[in-house]
Every structure is written in structure tokens, then in C-alpha cells.
Chains A and B, each alone.
Chain A
Amino acid sequence: MGKRSFKIWRGNAEGGEFHTYETEITEGMVVLDAIHQIQAESANDLAVRWNCKAGKCGSCGCEVNGKPKLSCMTRMNSLPEEGDVVIQPIKTFPVIKDLVCDVSYNYVRNKQIPPFAPREREADGTHRMEQRDVDRIQEFRKCIECFLCMDVCHVLRDHEKKDDFVGPRWMIRLASLEMHPLDIVDRIPLIREKFGSGWCNITRCCTEVCPEHINITDNGIIPLKERVVDRFYDPIAMLKRKLFGDKSNKRLPVVEVGDSSASG
């Protein structure tokens, strides 16, 4: 297959530029293999995150020829045969060095989400749930936290609204909790106010790049938006609630969480 030329962004928070490297490509190689080979041969200090090299940990997300990808799951033979392969860090988060970004925003946001709290166990000490009732959240729980969805979210990437909108990864996590058959916490007010569900304008870019093929927008975000609308903007539902009380099985009060300022 011969040598290929790579343009890899090198630098840190103060700035950087593309450096050109050449390395030998053999059958079956993925982009991460090429990066590792370059690192071992001619750029020992090249910073790149990776762990499992099997698409399961979500560490090695970057932009390959401008497209957000897991570099461990992007085969070299899936790229155009001609021209340089351009590799740069994901854009939504600040760069630390080379291909490594500061993704601490995500850990701050996750901590703001009121944790799972289950209903009581049944008399025999078990929790019973039908498979069909957990299929939906098992889809969301496939998320490997690669943050490629965060990379393409216009609200975060282009409009820098990280303080207003939590982003697709965390909407999916909220959906996995809200739709959990055992969970008894009400997060709908928070989803509207603190996590900014209204900001998503359903362009489905996040869904398109998800390496786990989670239907982020249609199965996660839209149903959450609908729940928010039902609660806060549907006059008939509001009237019903006033007359007959809230029939939902969510009984716990909203959990207050700390610091709302999520740093970028």
C-alpha cells in the first residue's frame, strides 16, 4: 500500500500548526495505527489519547479530514487514496496539546445531573423490568463518551453556549435516567432550565457522527423536549394536572445541585 503523508496539528493552548509526516501503510491499518507509528518513528512526544483500540472506550476522537471520527475505528482504506490525511483535535473543547483536548466540561456537567434513585425493591428482593422496557435506555447506555456529538453540536461548537446548553451526550444521559423504569427522580424542570433543552434545534448532526449509532436526536432529545413542553407549555395538560393532580409516578422533589457555572 506504500507510504502516506499525514498533516497532524501540533501545538498547545498558545497556538500551533500542521506538521507533515510520512509513514508506511499496511493492510488493515486504522488511522490510530498510523498516528502511533509516526509517534514511535519520528514524533515521540506527540500527544494522543487512546485506550482500548477497539471502539469501546471513546478516548481517541479527533477530526480526520475534517470529519469527527474515532481514529481507532477509521480504516486507512476508507479514506481517499490521494492527498494528505489531515488530523486535528476536536474543536468544541480547548486544546491541551496536539490531539488532546481539555474535556473537563463534561465531568462538571455530569456531576450536576441528579443521580439515579430507584424505587423500593419488590417483596422478594428483586427489581423486575421487562426487556422491552429497558431496550430504549440500553441504547442510550451504549454511549462511550467519545464526545464526537459534542464536537458537532452547533450550539456548543459555533455559538459557545456551553453554559446554557448541556450538549447531546448529557441529554442522552438525562434521557437514560428519565426513561429508567426504576428511577423516581424528576429532572424535567432542570432539563428545561439548567440543561437548556430548548437550545437544541434538531439538526441531527450529533446522531450522524455517533460511533455507537445511538439515535440521539429522535430517541433521546426529542422525547425530553416533549416532556418539557407537556409540563410547562401545554395548557390542557396543566389544567388536567390542576384538576386531577399529577398522575406521573415521579414523587421525589427536584434535587438541587450545586454550582451552575460549567467552565469550558
Chain B
Amino acid sequence: MLDVSELQTVEHDVVIIGAGGAGLRAAIECSAHGLDTAIVCKSLLGKAHTVMAEGGMAAALRNTDERDNWAVHFRDTMRGSKFLGTWRMAELHAKQAPERVKELEDWGAVFDRTQSGLINQRNFGGHRFPRLAHVGDRTGLELIRTLQDHGVHQGFEVYMECKALNLLQEGNAVGGVLCLWKDSGRFMRIKCKAVILATGGGGKMWRVTSNSWEYTGDGAAMAYEAGGELMDIEFTQFHPTGMVWPPSVRGTLVTEGVRGEGGHLRNSDGERFMFRYIPDRFASETADTEEEAARWLAGDKEARRPPELLTRDVVARAIYNEVKAGRGSPHGGAFLDIASNRPPDYIQRKLPSMYHQFKELAEVDITKDAMEVGPTLHYFMGGIRVDADSQEATGVPGLFACGECSAGLHGANRLGGNSLSDLIVFGKLAGDGAAAYVKGLGAGPSVADEDVAAAVRNATAPLNRTDGENPFALHDELCEIMGEHVGIYRTEEGLGAGLDKLVGWREKIKNTKAHASSQYNAGWHEALDLQSMAIVSEAVAMAAKERQESRGAHSRADYELEDKEHWGKRNLIISRGDDGQMELRHYERPAPPEHLAKVAFASVEELDAMVASGEVQV
């Protein structure tokens, strides 16, 4: 019997799991509130998936187009979400993003500048005006480094290469975290009063993904096991432009900034096919001729945006369909051409890492030749259901979530650039929320030693088995199932078959074997990550099967249209039932607040008039 008192034990007020943009921003806020704060992260500090964000962070700073304001950003976000986003979160996000971006500048961030010396902003899909503060195509690196270098002076502790395994509770209330040190293979018990999850998404359940190894759905799984709810989990974003060749880099992200800077998409006939895929909802705001698109790129404010800058769900499906119709590029993608539209030195300055990425990994010079691109699993719109203002997870006192692992802001589809701003807006709010909760709490919950011991036993099982399944092979098998059955186009039959396969697969992962010692053992870590992926993969497939419509990133070949009346008014929520089985329920969305509905449903002209008359305050 394990003696829990022998475990390394530390105590903090609040523990943040994840050290990307959201986790770091939350930690900074918790420290500012005077809380004893710690971050636990699976990688080294500064390596989290945020570094891969390229294009920029969306905020209506009005530096490049004075017609922009929070209401336009809010409207773009709700429309991009196919009206399934949480109204209050979209409002908070649009209103607070500018202040959060400016604050980064006070902490040392160096954004690209406009002619007049202000933060420059670039165009992106679904954003009516140039809105993305950026640093070339490495904005995520700038964000994480700024927060990291500011953060290390704020007094919070960082436990690096330390994997959070389980939330520890008294009743439902969170009272700690059990962690595993990767380097030594030893466990650490953290006693705390609140936990903020900032673990990112779960793209590693698919083979073709832009996500790093850390993206195994840990936060969603921990919240689910603790009694929390997962919402909108069926909405998994396929970014339209991942690399398709060579095979080893299939899925690696090609920033939307390429299209924002004027890149065209063409098929094997040389046709600029996006003109054929403009949805009715966006028709009045999208250029319908190459001539108008060219004027827009040249800066004509009367011209409408090119169709390459439609929302990601639309562009990803278009590329998929072109390939399926036999008009794909040699390696099964579409051609993305910036070389014909911008001079080489401009491309190298604005898209330096794309230039290097293609040069070094694909031997393609993007200043001369077109790239080959295709859809890649990129982002989870859904995740842990939270209160919009405090970011507290529903059903679990003391548990908070922010960033990609939480749900609400993006609904059925996220706009590019809204992720980095999401991190800093809701990272801060989660810090505020946790601080208010901790200050209102007396003594922290007391966790039973037996619960800790059980969690340790579960984690060490793969090491202690004499024989069993290869965790890497099981991960591969999961990717196979998800790719085949829970891909960009889904059907009732396919999802049903996928769910059946997942049942068998989950049996196998109960029998993983990690060979050799517990020290920095990649196979053991993989076996533990599979436990998170087991929960989240079932949730995604189950919700995807339930939602009988196509909306945003969720495309059903057997229900091709949006169902405004029924599904347009419902979010799907997943939680664990009393019998331990995964349960799914429909949440009927309340009517939106009137002041927000009138903004979101207005035409461009109506909104401009409302702003001009002062009816909408900006």
C-alpha cells in the first residue's frame, strides 16, 4: 500500500495547468491579486503550442481602419461562430481585446508598426477590417515570450516538464492536483484552493494535424472526470491550409496570413475556385470577380474582400471538394500562390517563417512557386463549459478554464486571430475569477489520501504490467479511427462505426505497457496521454453523431444544411452520468440580449448607421 505522506507535497492558493498564452496570462493575474500561484506544464516554459500561432491576434485597435470597433469585431465573431457562440463571451472578447494587446506592449512585445508608428494590423478571414496585431508570421512566439519574460518576475512558481494527472477533490470542490515529474518519474501532490485549466485542445487524435504532442485533450478530460461539462465538442476546426507534401510534414500549418497578404487559391485547372464557394450569408460582403478582389488588395476601401478570406470552415470544405472532384494538386491539395501577387522581398519580410518552412521542409521557394496546401485538424472550438464572466467551470467549484480548452467564444467556427486574443482576454478573466473564488473561500478542501493513492496506482499501472500493448501503436490506431470516421465530412453511419471501434480501442488502452524505468520514459507518458484522448475522442464522436446538421466546422454529408430552427438553438453538452457512462444532453440556448442581437443580426450598413447615430456605443 502506497504511503501518501511520502509523496512530495507542496501547497499553493491556485494552480494553473498549462503554460501557453492563456495559462501565463492567468498566472500573471493571479499573482497580481496576491495569490500564491503555480503553473504546471508538460513542456519547458516557453515551448507551449502558442508558439506556433502565426498570423496575429484580433483586436479592434482601429490603427489601420478607423471604421473598426468592438461592435464590428463582435458581429464578425458571432457570424463566424454561425451564431452558436456564447453571446456574452463574444462581447467581453471584442470589448477587452484592445486593452489586452496594448498591455502586451507595456510588457515588451514588439509588434510590426504602421507608417505612423502604431501597432500594425493585417487582414484575416472573416474579419471585416484589418484587425490582427502581428509580428511577421511569428505572433505566437512574441506573445508567449512576452508573457514568459514578464511573468518570471511576478513571483509565481513554474513546475516544468511536469504532467498534471488528476484533479483532487473533496466532494465536488477542487482541492489539489496530482502531478508527475517527467525527468525523475516521481509524483508530486499539490494542495490548492482553485485550479485553472489552460491545457489547449486535442488535435493529436488525428494524424493530419497542425498540433504538437501536448495536444491530447488533458484539460477537457480532467474536467469531465471531475464532474464538469464539455460543450460544442463536435466542432473541431480543420484549418484549410496545412502542408500536404512531403508526408512527414503533412498537416503542418501554413498561416492564413498568406491569404491575408494576398495569396490566391487555385485548382489544377488554374481556376481561382473560391468564387464558386461563397455562401449566401457572406455574399453581400465578398468580391465576386477577380477584378474586385484585386482592387481590394490594392487598398480600395469600396471593394469587397476576396473569397479566399471567407471563414476557415468554408475554405477547408472547398479545398476538400476540389480535390475530391479530381482538380487537386499533385499531392492532393490546392495551390496557394503568393508569388504572383507580391514581390519576393515583401514575402520574405511578412512571411519569413513560411518562406523557411517551405524552403527547408519541402524544397519550395514560395517567392517563386505556389505552395500545395490542404485541410489539417487545427483547433477545438468546444471544450470545458464555463461561466462567461468568471470562467468557472460548471458543476465543479474551484475549477476554472480558459483558452482553447474552454468552450463558448467560438461556437461552431473560430475566426483566425481570435485565438490569441481569446487567450489573453479570458486568461485574465480566469485569474480574476479564481482570485474572487479563493478570497471567498475559508479553508481549502481536504482531499482523502485514498483518492491520491488511487490516482498514483492508476498512473503507475502501465509500468507495473509485465506485458501489454505498445502505447505508440495504440495512438496510431486512434488516429486511424478518427481520420476515417470523424474527419472533415461526417455521416451517421461512419460516426456509429467509429464509436464502435472506439469501444474496442478503449479496452486495449487499459492494457498499455511502458517498458524500462520511470525516468523520462516517453512510452509511459504516451500511455498516460492516451487516457485523456480516450475520453475526448468518445465525446467528439458522440456529439458529432448527435448533431444532425452541418454548421461551421461540423460538416455532415447526410445533413448538408444548417438547421436554423432546431440545431441553431442548441448546444450539446457532455458529462459523466451516475452510472459512469458518458451522457449527452441538449441545451436550449436562451434568447440573446437585445443590445447584442441587434448588432449581430444587422447588415453592414445598418450597423454603421447604428454606430454613427450613437445607438451602439463604441
Contacts and interface: CB of A to CB of B under 8 A. Distances in A.
A57 B246 contact: no
Contact of B213 (A50, A144, A177): A50
24 contacts: A40-B470, A44-B514, A45-B521, A51-B43, A51-B47, A52-B49, A54-B52, A54-B252, A54-B361, A56-B51, A56-B138, A56-B141, A57-B52, A57-B212, A58-B47, A59-B47, A96-B183, A107-B45, A111-B152, A116-B150, A129-B113, A141-B110, A141-B135, A142-B138
B64 to A, nearest CB: 13
B362 A126 contact: no
A33 B248 contact: yes
Contacts of A173: 149
Contacts of B361: 28, 30, 54, 73, 75
Given A40-B473, A115-B150, A96 B520 contact: yes
Interface string B269-284: 0000000000000000
Contacts of A73: 360-361
Interface in A131-152: 131, 134, 137-138, 141-142, 144-145
B522 interface: yes
B107 interface: yes
Given A53-B212, A138-B112, 6 more contacts: A44-B516, A44-B521, A46-B522, A103-B44, A116-B150, A141-B110
Interface in A175-190: 177, 180, 182-183
A55 interface: yes
A100 interface: yes
B249 interface: yes
B248 A28 contact: yes
B113 A26 contact: no
A247 interface: no
Please tell me the size bucket of the interface on A. Answer: 35 or more
B314 to A, nearest CB: 25
B117 interface: yes
B470 to A, nearest CB: 7
A242 interface: no
Given A44-B515, A45-B521, A97-B183, A144 B141 contact: yes
Contacts of A259: none
B356 interface: yes
B201 interface: no
Contacts of B521: 44-45, 47
B116 interface: yes
A110 B492 CA distance: 53
A57 B44 CA distance: 10
Interface residues of B, number: 67
Nearest to B117: A128
Given A29-B248, A44-B472, A45-B514, A54 B108 contact: no
A118 B107 CA distance: 8
Contact of A56 (B52, B105, B149, B522): B52
A39 interface: yes
B524 interface: yes
Interface of B: 43-49, 51-52, 102, 105-108, 110, 112-113, 116-118, 120, 135-136, 138, 140-142, 145, 149-150, 152-153, 160, 183, 212-214, 245-249, 252-253, 352-353, 356-357, 360-362, 470-473, 476, 514-517, 519-524, 526
A interface SS class? loop
Contacts of A51: 43, 47-49, 51, 212-214
A200 B259 CA distance: 43
A52 B183 contact: no
A215 interface: no
Contact of B51 (A12, A125, A144, A177): A144
Contacts of B360: 55, 73, 75
Interface of A: 12, 26-30, 33, 39-40, 44-59, 73, 75, 96-98, 100, 102-103, 107, 110-111, 115-116, 118, 121, 125-131, 134, 137-138, 141-142, 144-145, 173, 177, 180, 182-183
Given A30-B361, A134-B110, A141-B135, A45 B213 contact: no
A131 B247 contact: no
Contacts of A29: 246, 248
A58 B148 CA distance: 15
A116 B515 contact: no
A97 B357 contact: no
Contacts of A142: 138, 141, 352
Nearest to B142: A141
Nearest to B249: A28
B516 A45 contact: yes
A170 to B, nearest CB: 11
B248 A55 contact: no
Contacts of A33: 248
A75 B360 CA distance: 8
B113 A180 contact: no
Contacts of A134: 110, 113
Given A51-B47, A128-B117, A138-B110, A110 B149 contact: yes
Contacts of B105: 118, 127, 182
Contacts of A75: 360-361
B45 A130 contact: no
Given A47-B520, A73-B360, A129-B113, A118 B106 contact: yes
A40 B472 contact: yes
Contacts of A129: 110, 113, 117
A128 B113 CA distance: 8
Contacts of B252: 53-54
A100 B110 contact: no
Contact of B152 (A52, A110, A138): A110
A100 B212 contact: no
B108 A180 contact: yes
A180 B524 CA distance: 44
Given A12-B519, A48-B522, A96-B183, A131 B213 contact: no
